[in-house]
């Protein structure tokens, strides 16, 4: 009967996905930022070495006897070798005329002013080079002349460094993502935990536990819990009301029936005329049939309700059956039917005592009702630790050729029921109770062949 909830998404999963998404985005931003920063720093430091080299070459440019002379200092180029094994190019020119160095080194696009070096990335001989060009104004033979010094270096080493650094940045980003993910999982789980523990507390409750939920919950869940409590409250009220209603309805129907039946019995004692007596008997039978049917319908409703949410307790099947036998003995006595009770082993089981009682009573009721007077009914209870069994054997003639399985269907009655008041619900109730407990109901012809043997069999645990 329990309806599964309509599930759309999971808070935990949604939260987790959101947090993981944010972590991934942040990690990417971190990676890009660090990479850019590292690239800038690397370029800047390379530039400053290039510039230092250019400056040192520039410093070696001198005017000697009206000639510009360049005495290329060794250190100027070797300092570049410290950075990497990249090839170094240089050029010293005066007013567009190359004094020394690589004359085919491309000229920068920007115009160079004295004291303001220009850094450029260019292509040279199929390779990318970084080039600095600085200029200085010398006085040559009384006239100013511009000396330009360009120093360039290929970028392979630089690229390797950058690759290493970006790998580190990538590791940093991944590390950040992994750590954030772990935190995200933890936080998603911990924020769902109160919800989970509330759900467990509610689902662990017994079917009769209608106390309000009182465990402390986070403020966000308070409205949910208070609505839940309102619901529980209303359920309790409506259960009580429907139980009261059933009791009230039964009372309203059965009390007048009892009046009519009693009056009919009294009248039957007084009247002499055979046809009147016949009608009165018919009347009493109709009343019995009505009351029996209404009783069993109510019982059946109650049994269905209880089997939906089975309440289990430890039951001694022998004790339960013995009590029932004592309870029904006066009824059996009226027909001088002897009830023989016999138990062996340890017929213990776990189940709903009220349901089991109802099932056994229905079978025993049938046995007594359908037996001719002065017959025997045997009630045998047995248990072997794995199973608990109660079988009721009568001498009522058996069920004839009626399909024994069909007998446990609602409102189906056996062939021997002519003239006996009954509703056909008794065995249905017994079978439903057995099945709700994981047990079985079997109907067979008794060994002596004189009647039926109905057995209820329950697993012990």
Partner 1 sequence: MRFLLVEDNASLAKAILDRLRLDGHVVDHAPDVQSAEDFAATTDYDLILLDIMLPDGDGRTFLKQHRDRQIETPVIVLTARSEVSDRVGVLDLGADDYITKPFDFSELEARCRAVLRRRGGGSSNERRFGNLCFDPMAGTLSIGDQTISLRNKELRLLEVFLSAPDRIFSKAKLVDRLFSYEEDVSENAIEVYVGRLRKHLVGSGVEIATVRGLGYRMSLQ
Our CB check for partner 1 shows the closer of 212 and 256 to be: 256
Residue 253 CB, shortest distance to partner 1, in Å, is 8
Our CB check for partner 1 shows the closer of 135 and 371 to be: 371
SS3 88: strand
Separation of alpha carbons 399 and 408, rounded Å: 12
Question: What single string gives the DSSP state of each residue in 381-446?
Answer: EEEESSEEEEEEE--S---TTS-TTGGGSTT---GGGTTS---S-HHHHHHHHHHHTT-EEEEEE-
Residue 311 CB, shortest distance to partner 1, in Å, is 13
Comparing C-alpha atoms, which of 181, 176, 188 is closest to residue 26? 176
Our CB check for partner 1 shows the closer of 226 and 259 to be: 259
Residue 410 CB, shortest distance to partner 1, in Å, is 17
Element (H, E) at 138: strand 127-140
Residue 350 CB, shortest distance to partner 1, in Å, is 18
CB 301 within 8 Å of CB 428: no
Residue 268 CB, shortest distance to partner 1, in Å, is 6
Residue 242 CB, shortest distance to partner 1, in Å, is 11
Our CB check for partner 1 shows the closer of 178 and 271 to be: 271
Residue 333 CB, shortest distance to partner 1, in Å, is 4
Separation of alpha carbons 430 and 435, rounded Å: 9
Separation of alpha carbons 32 and 38, rounded Å: 10
Residue with tokens 């009830």: 339
Residue 291 CB, shortest distance to partner 1, in Å, is 5
Our CB check for partner 1 shows the closer of 120 and 289 to be: 289
Residue 330 CB, shortest distance to partner 1, in Å, is 4
Separation of alpha carbons 433 and 2, rounded Å: 18
Question: What single string gives the DSSP state of each residue in 369-391?
Answer: HHSPTT-EEEEEEEEESSEEEEE
Q: What are the structure tokens assigned to 41, written together?
A: 């720093």
Element (H, E) at 137: strand 127-140
Beta-strand relationship, 387-393 and 61-64: unpaired
Our CB check for partner 1 shows the closer of 172 and 257 to be: 257
Binding site for partner 1 (CB under 8 A): 243, 246-248, 250-251, 253-263, 265-266, 268-269, 272, 274, 277, 281, 284-285, 287-288, 291, 295, 298-299, 302-303, 306, 327, 329-331, 333-336, 354-355, 357-358, 361, 369, 373-374, 419-421
CB 149 within 8 Å of CB 92: yes
Residue 427 CB, shortest distance to partner 1, in Å, is 16
Separation of alpha carbons 175 and 183, rounded Å: 12
> For 19-36, b where at least 16 C-beta lie within 10 A, e where not — what string?
bbeebeeebeebbeebbe
Our CB check for partner 1 shows the closer of 215 and 281 to be: 281
Q: What are the structure tokens assigned to 167, written together?
A: 């790998």
Our CB check for partner 1 shows the closer of 303 and 381 to be: 303
Our CB check for partner 1 shows the closer of 20 and 257 to be: 257
Query: Left, alpha or beta for 424 (phi > 0: left; psi -120 to 50: alpha)?
Result: left
Our CB check for partner 1 shows the closer of 89 and 370 to be: 370
CB 198 within 8 Å of CB 49: no
């Amino acid at each position: 009967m329990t309806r599964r909830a309509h599930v759309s998404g999971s808070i935990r999963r949604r939260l987790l996905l959101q947090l993981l998404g944010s972590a991934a985005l942040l990690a990417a931003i971190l990676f890009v930022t660090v990479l850019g920063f590292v690239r800038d720093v690397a370029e800047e430091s390379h530039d400053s070495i290039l510039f230092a080299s250019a400056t040192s070459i520039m410093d070696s440019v001198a005017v000697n006897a009206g000639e510009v002379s360049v005495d290329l200092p060794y250190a100027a180029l070797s300092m570049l070798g410290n950075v990497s094994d990249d090839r170094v190019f240089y050029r010293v020119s005066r007013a567009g005329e190359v004094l020394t160095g690589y004359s085919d080194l491309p000229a920068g696009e920007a115009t160079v002013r004295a004291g303001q070096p220009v850094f450029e990335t260019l292509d040279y001989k199929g390779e990318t080079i970084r080039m600095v060009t600085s200029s200085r104004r010398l006085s040559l033979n009384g006239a100013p002349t511009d000396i330009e010094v360009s120093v360039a270096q290929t970028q392979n080493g630089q690229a390797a460094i950058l690759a290493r650094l970006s790998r580190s940045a990538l590791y940093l980003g991944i590390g950040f993502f992994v750590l954030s993910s772990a935190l995200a999982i933890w936080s998603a789980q911990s924020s769902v935990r109160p919800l989970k523990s509330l759900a467990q507390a509610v689902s662990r409750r017994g079917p009769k536990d209608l106390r309000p939920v009182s465990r402390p919950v986070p403020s966000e869940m308070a409205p949910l819990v208070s609505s839940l409590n309102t619901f529980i409250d209303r359920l309790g009220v409506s259960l009580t009301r429907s139980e009261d209603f059933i009791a009230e309805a039964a009372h309203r129907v059965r009390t007048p029936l009892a009046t009519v039946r009693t009056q009919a019995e009294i009248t039957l004692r007084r009247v002499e005329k055979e046809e009147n007596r016949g009608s009165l008997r018919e009347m009493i039978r109709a009343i019995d049939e009505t009351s029996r049917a209404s009783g069993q319908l109510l019982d059946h409703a109650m049994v269905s309700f209880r089997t939906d949410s089975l309440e289990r307790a430890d039951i001694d099947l022998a004790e339960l059956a013995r009590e029932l036998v004592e309870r029904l003995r006066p009824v059996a006595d009226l027909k001088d039917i002897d009830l023989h009770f016999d138990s062996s082993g340890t017929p213990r089981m776990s189940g709903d005592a009220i349901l089991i009682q109802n099932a056994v009573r229905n079978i025993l009721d049938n046995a007594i009702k359908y037996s001719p007077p002065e017959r025997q009914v045997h009630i045998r209870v047995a248990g072997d630790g794995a199973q608990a069994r109660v079988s009721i054997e009568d001498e009522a003639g058996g069920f004839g050729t009626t399909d024994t399985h069909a007998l446990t269907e609602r409102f189906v009655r056996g062939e021997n029921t002519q003239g006996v008041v009954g509703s056909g619900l008794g065995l249905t109730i017994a079978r439903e109770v057995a099945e709700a407990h994981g047990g079985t109901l079997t109907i067979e012809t008794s060994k002596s062949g004189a009647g039926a043997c109905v057995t209820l069999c329950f697993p012990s645990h």
